[in-house]
């Protein structure tokens, strides 16, 4: 349900009736219960424009406002705010409709578009580390969200599988014998060992350099070794994806090497557009207002990260047909994306109407605000971190009795992985993120555990209730009404989250919703003796809708729920 749009329509009707020939601006959610449910703040700007008194304008609007449908009450406040109260009967009916709908009343977009979400993008030379965690989690959520709203989402995993370091790795893979896969079990170590050989042994280093040339010129033997390396390396990433319950598959991989063939053409087309200039032997694009040019070809003929991204951009816009391309990548690459987006538009590689966005995120820090590292200063491997999350989650539920070992395992996974993901998604993505086990595994506060607990609590009500659920939702008191309005805001919130590529809108909403539900449930018992049948039925249904909304929200975040906690 597009709640705001519905209210805006009612206001527009009042404008029309009052002969105000303007478009009514949007209402906003009231910040305090005493301001009603929504607020219209447009009277002031309008008064200025029309040269009239704002309170007078507000009065004109209120006088013509239909208070027999969606709205029940309107009150002028301050210099000309209009506080609006929604009609409880209307709310009850809409909640009922949402409950009977498997999409909970959320419409699919009328004009869906093709969206490419570029996320995860690990580098094959190394084991995935915590730095890739944020991209993977935020990107997957964004993809889920857009998909749920009806867009056609194409996930793209732009893995780094090309570059001079592969010569070294392949030389080492060959040297370690037939079954390199054994050594590759620990990629980090493998990389270090190969680097050591490279630095220490001139013969090895020369061989590595030869391999670079050979791979690039398509030597089959080398390419096979390279492919083997990539396969194993990607397999490691896929273990992480599966632990994380993210939806990336091998089909979503479009590696850097995929664009190799197009790179000479990229250069040629930039030349045709008169965009290239030679500088210190390198081919560069100088952009207006930018000090540093975009280098697209080095003096030795080699291509760069930016060249590949230009090729990827035009592939995505022209071959895949994307109208929105979202790059979920570390904020430190902001300069890179700003520049390649500009070049892509200026060169016509990407049509003007395609929306290009860098969905930037901050770094992951430890409790003391330093970049996240292992105790001995190394990078924390993602697999280790996720395994630790599960172990810690087990500790949290250990005291609970009546669980089989199997159940504990499953629960620990759902809770532990959920906690890591939720904590990451719940902050403004552009801020640096402080990783804190105790906070993320708490039952209190804006955590996945709190959400999972609220969900399970509602399920326990349904386990205790026997018999059919019938009758209507009736909005009894104010708290019940706030809960219901919150439930109806689901679609508006999702739309905002999608527009801003901001998963923390979802977590903030879920937190508010779960908190409201808990308060509602404390005050308004459902199954207690003395609650009349109609009230009980109504509250059961509201609880059901709350649980379903929490579950759907968490599902978009890629977090599971359990019926018992």
List contacts with ligand ARG (CB under 6 A): 118, 121, 123, 158, 160, 309, 312, 327, 329
Closest CB to ligand ARG among residues 146, 488: 146
Coil, helix or strand at residue 559:
coil
**Nearest C-alpha neighbor of 42 from the set 72, 12, 16, 85:** 12
| Nearest distance, CB of residue 158 and ligand ARG, angstroms | 4
- Which residue has the closest beta carbon to ligand ARG? 121
Query: At CA 545, angle to CA 540 and CA 549, rounded to 5?
Result: 150
Helices H / strands E in the chain, number of each:
21, 13
Closest CB to ligand ARG among residues 329, 557: 329
Closest CB to ligand ARG among residues 134, 207: 134
| Nearest distance, CB of residue 323 and ligand ARG, angstroms | 18
Read out DSSP for 269-309?
Answer: HHHHTT-EEEETTEEEE--TT-SSPEEEE-TTS-B-HHHHH
What Cα–Cα distance (Å) separates residue 464 from each residue in 292, 412, 516, 523, 526?
Answer: 67, 25, 22, 19, 11
CA 230 to chain centre: 27
| Nearest distance, CB of residue 123 and ligand ARG, angstroms | 5
| Nearest distance, CB of residue 166 and ligand ARG, angstroms | 14
Closest CB to ligand ARG among residues 158, 481: 158
| Nearest distance, CB of residue 151 and ligand ARG, angstroms | 19
| Nearest distance, CB of residue 299 and ligand ARG, angstroms | 23
| Nearest distance, CB of residue 329 and ligand ARG, angstroms | 5
Closest CB to ligand ARG among residues 81, 349: 349
Closest CB to ligand ARG among residues 121, 416: 121
**Looking up tokens 């010129």, which residue turns up?**
217
CA distance 88 to 95: 10
Closest CB to ligand ARG among residues 158, 324: 158
Closest CB to ligand ARG among residues 15, 166: 166
| Nearest distance, CB of residue 433 and ligand ARG, angstroms | 17
DSSP 129: B
Backbone angles phi, psi at 157, to 5 degrees: -105, 100
Q: Tell me if 379 sits within 8 A of 371, measured CB to CB.
A: no
Counting Cα atoms < 13 Å in the Cβ hemisphere of 430 gives 7
């Amino acid at each position: 349900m597009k709640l705001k749009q519905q209210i805006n329509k009612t206001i527009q009707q009042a404008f029309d009736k009052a002969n105000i020939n303007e478009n009514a601006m949007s209402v906003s959610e009231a910040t305090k219960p005493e301001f009603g449910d929504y607020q219209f703040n447009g009277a002031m700007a309008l008064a200025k424009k029309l040269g009239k008194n704002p309170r007078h304008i507000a009065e004109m609007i209120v006088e013509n406002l239909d208070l027999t449908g969606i709205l029940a009450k309107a009150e002028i406040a301050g210099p000309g705010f209009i506080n609006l109260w929604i009609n409880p009967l209307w709310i009850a009916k809409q909640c009922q409709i949402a409950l009977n709908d498997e999409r909970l009343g959320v419409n699919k977009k009328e004009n869906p578009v093709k969206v490419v979400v570029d996320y995860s993008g690990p580098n094959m030379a190394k084991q995935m580390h915590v730095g890739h965690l944020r991209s993977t989690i935020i990107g997957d959520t964004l993809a889920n969200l857009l998909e749920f709203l009806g867009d056609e989402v194409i996930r793209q995993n732009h893995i780094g599988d090309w570059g001079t370091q592969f010569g070294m790795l392949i030389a080492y893979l060959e040297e370690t014998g037939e079954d390199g896969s054994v050594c590759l079990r620990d990629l980090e170590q493998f990389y270090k060992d190969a680097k050591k050989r490279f630095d220490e042994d001139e013969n090895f280093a020369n061989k590595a350099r030869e391999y670079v040339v050979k791979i690039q010129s398509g030597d089959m033997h080398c390419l096979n070794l390279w492919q083997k390396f990539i396969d194993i390396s990607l397999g490691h990433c896929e273990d992480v994806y599966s632990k994380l319950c993210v939806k990336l598959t091998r089909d979503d991989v479009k590696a850097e090497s995929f664009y190799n063939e197009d790179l000479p053409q990229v250069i040629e087309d930039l030349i045709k557009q008169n965009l290239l200039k030679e500088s210190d032997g390198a081919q560069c694009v100088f952009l207006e207002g930018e000090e540093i040019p975009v280098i697209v070809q080095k003096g030795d003929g080699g291509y760069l990260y930016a060249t590949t991204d230009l090729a990827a951009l035009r592939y995505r816009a022209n071959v895949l047909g994307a109208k929105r391309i979202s790059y979920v990548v570390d904020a430190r690459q902001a300069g890179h994306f700003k520049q390649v987006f500009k070049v892509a538009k200026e060169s016509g590689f990407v049509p003007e109407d395609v929306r290009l966005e860098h969905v930037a995120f901050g770094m992951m820090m430890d409790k003391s605000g330093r970049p996240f590292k292992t105790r001995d200063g190394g990078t924390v491997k993602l697999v280790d971190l996720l395994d630790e999350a599960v172990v810690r989650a087990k500790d949290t539920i250990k005291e609970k009795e009546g669980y089989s070992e199997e159940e504990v395992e499953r629960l620990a996974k759902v809770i532990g992985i959920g906690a890591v993901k939720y904590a990451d998604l719940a902050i403004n993505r552009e801020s640096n993120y402080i990783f804190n086990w105790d906070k993320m595994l708490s039952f209190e506060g804006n955590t996945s555990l709190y959400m999972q607990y609220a969900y399970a609590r509602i399920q326990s009500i349904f386990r205790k209730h026997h018999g059919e659920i019938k009758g209507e939702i009736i909005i009894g008191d104010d708290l019940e009404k706030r809960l219901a309005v919150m439930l109806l805001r689901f679609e508006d919130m999702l739309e905002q989250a999608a527009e801003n590529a901001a998963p923390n809108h979802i977590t903030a909403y879920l937190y508010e919703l779960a908190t409201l539900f808990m308060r509602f449930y404390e005050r308004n018992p459902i199954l207690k003796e003395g609650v009349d049948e109609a009230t009980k039925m109504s509250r059961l249904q509201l609880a059901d809708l709350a649980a379903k909304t929490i579950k759907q929200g968490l599902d978009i975040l890629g977090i599971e729920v359990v019926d018992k906690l």
